Amino acid sequence: MPIKVVDQLPAVGALSAENVFVMTESRAASQDIRPQRIAILNLMPDKITTEIQLLRLLANTPLQVDVELLRLDDHKSKHTPESHLNCFYRYFSQVTAEKYDGLIITGAPLGLVDYADVTYWDQLEGILSWADSHVTSTLFLCWAAHAGLYHYYGLQREIRGEKLSGVYPQQLTQPLCPLVRGFDDQFWVPHSRYAQVPKQRFTQHDELHILAESDQTGPYLLQNSSGSRVFVTGHPEYDVNTLAEEYQRDLVSGLTPKLPENYFPHDDPKQQPLKLWQSHAFLLFSNWLNYYVYQATPFDIGLIGQK
């Protein structure tokens, strides 16, 4: 089954061109089925690109997924037209009484900003507390993963000496976990961040489990014991050219970024990169939707959060 989105969402055309099955609201209305309600809190500046990346991954499942796009209250986006946000997004304050089978919180370009200095930090903490009783499972990506680890477990990140940028091999550490079912022993994932949480700090929390990691990136994929919180410190959703665009953007900004590692063929930025992580990304989202959303959520969505 496909994802279900608003008919006019720009991502529909982009994904249809890739032969990704997307069902619009008008067609889904004829189906008698309980779809999985997934909310996406999109914190990325270019929200339209992130929508396409995430919807592509959510579409690769036999489940019907009803996607709702959320935005923060009192926060202006500088890189996405207000008309797009007004048409396709709901403010979080409008959905506080609703419940969702799953929630995805994206990364944000805040790798060098202290949490206390993030303008919307208080609201984000409120959303995380709300999710505990209104969402079956939350998936945190990159900056949001570190923010979630700090909010729930007090795990403070450390700023690296230089930005971690590139595509890195990850090693499975708990291959029998449902979230990584079907994964190869080693797989590739893009990373683009300035911070990381040292591995030894996770040992203070028996509830946290590292499922995949590498020496270069540190822990990549973590979850709590129940699977209600999944933390992904990389960017499996990235397009093939995303790291190249970030590299060129930093150059234009007057920075001296390192070439993304394991990315350009022969480390030549004039050559087209290969996408080495797509199958892993599809499987990660499919496993999350199946084992930690669909299998864990009650049929009556109103019962989410009840003991």
DSSP of the chain, one letter per residue?
--EEE-TT-HHHHHHHHTT--EEEHHHHTT--S--EEEEEE--SSSHHHHHHHHHHHHTSSSS-EEEEEEE-TT---SSS-HHHHHHHEEEGGGSTT--EEEEEE---S-TTS-GGGSTTHHHHHHHHHHHHHHEEEEEEETHHHHHHHHHHH----EEEEEEEEEEEEEEES-TTSGGGTT--SEEEEEEEEEEE--GGGGGG-TTEEEEEEETTTEEEEEEETTSSEEEE-S-TT--TTHHHHHHHHHHHTT--PPPPBTTSGGG-TTSPP---SHHHHHHHHHHIIIIIIITTS-SSGGGTT--
Structure tokens at 263: 């990315």
- Which of 177, 167, 175, 221 lies closest to 199, judged by CA? 221
**Residue given tokens 């590292």 in the structure block:** 210
pLDDT at 12: 66
Which of 51, 68, 213, 237 is flagged as catalytic? 237
What is the predicted pLDDT for the residue at 63? Answer: 86
The CA distance from 237 to 277, in Å, is 9
Q: Which of 68, 134, 142, 146 is catalytic?
A: 142
The alpha-carbon radius of gyration of the chain (Å, integer) is 19
pLDDT tens figures, 57-75: 999 888 889 999 999 998 8
Q: Which one of 3.40.50.880, 3.40.50.300, 3.20.20.70, 3.40.50.970 gives the CATH number of domain 3-158+195-238+278-303?
A: 3.40.50.880
Give the residues of the chain that fall short of pLDDT 50: 1, 28-32
pLDDT at position 189: 98
Per-residue model confidence as pLDDT tens digits over 219-267: 999 999 999 999 999 999 999 999 999 999 999 999 899 999 999 999 9
Q: So what's the pLDDT on residue 4?
A: 59
Is 235 one of the annotated active-site residues of the chain? yes
Feature table: binding site for substrate: 163, 192, 249
Amino acid of residue 6: V
Query: Which residues sit opposite 188 in a β-bridge?
Result: 169
pLDDT of residue 245: 96
pLDDT at 68: 96
Residue 151 a catalytic site member: no
Catalytic residue among 177, 235, 246, 280: 235
Instruction: Establish whether 142 is a catalytic residue.
Output: yes
- pLDDT value of residue 61: 86
Q: Which residues contact 14 (CB under 8 A, 6 or more apart)?
A: 52
**Res 200: pLDDT:** 92
Q: What is the dihedral of CA 18, 19, 24, 27, to 10 degrees?
A: 170
Predicted pLDDT of residue 28:
47
Q: Which segments are annotated as binding site?
A: 163, 192, 249
